[in-house]
Amino acid sequence: METLIETHAHIYLDQFEKDLDEVLDRAKEKGVEKIYMPNIDHTSIDDMLKVEETSAICVAMMGLHPCSVNKTFEKELYLMEDWLSKREWSAVGEIGTDLYWDKTFWPQQQEAFKIQCNWAIEYDRPVVIHCRESIDETIHLVEEINNEKLRGVFHCFGGTMEQANKIIELGFYLGIGGVSTFKNGGLDQVLPKVNLEKIVLETDSPYLAPVPHRGKRNEPSFIELVAERVSQLMNRDLQEVKSVTTLNAQTLFS
């Protein structure tokens, strides 16, 4: 069985409190060998680290999610920076920008993003970027930082071919998840033209479950459905998709 790497799952959240062991067992049955967990803010750290401590396949990252950026974001960043200095992390994430829910703290989001990208450069770690309804703005921010050491993944990619090309040219991967299975997700027009060596697979559990589970709780075992969809859209053998995206994820988080 070809292995899979789940590059983005919030399995430390309350939605998994009652059956996390079963969720992890199902993931292992599908060949998932690693699950990377992005942080949200100070409230999620303890639960995330508890999952990492109790499961050999779960790996934590550290960062401040843009939806947690508000008028006190500097206090949050102080805590994130303190944690980053205490140990080695797989990545700086989940960071980024979000113009979907609330535009109130857009200037603060940009500042928090730049600060955390500079931490990633300092610690030589990849970044995991959230950019809901703000993909062009986030690409521009990365271009402004203009540092060849800055690398990572644009998580939950659902953009255009032009945006995909810009991200790849910047040296980043595209994080492909359940949106690829949605009828009007748009990735059926993009993935056939993308190099398989430039994508990694994710679920964003418990959110954005792929078809046929859309609207239900997502979980890491569903990543196989994402791999199958990528295989169909790119006209590549499923085992090849699993093998190449696993290697890509290993390279990303090396």
Q: What are phi and psi of 75, to 5 degrees?
A: -65, -40
Evaluate whether 68 touches 102 at the Cβ level (below 8 Å). Answer: no
pLDDT band at 169 (very low <50, low <70, confident <90, very high): very high
Separation CA 203–CA 155 (nearest Å): 10
Length of the chain: 254
94, 98, 221, 233, 234 from 37: Cα distances, Å: 9, 19, 15, 27, 27
Higher pLDDT, 151 or 1: 151
3-class secondary structure, 33: strand
Is a pLDDT exceeding 80 seen at residue 1? no
Mean pLDDT, rounded, for 132-157: 97
pLDDT for residue 159: 97
Mean pLDDT, rounded, for 241-248: 98
Q: pLDDT per residue over 179-223, tens digit each?
A: 999 999 999 999 999 999 999 999 999 999 999 999 999 999 999
pLDDT for residue 157: 98
Here the tokens at position 207 are 């959110």
pLDDT for residue 101: 82
pLDDT for residue 2: 86
pLDDT for residue 102: 85
Dihedral angle sign, alpha carbons of residues 7, 147, 196, 217:
positive
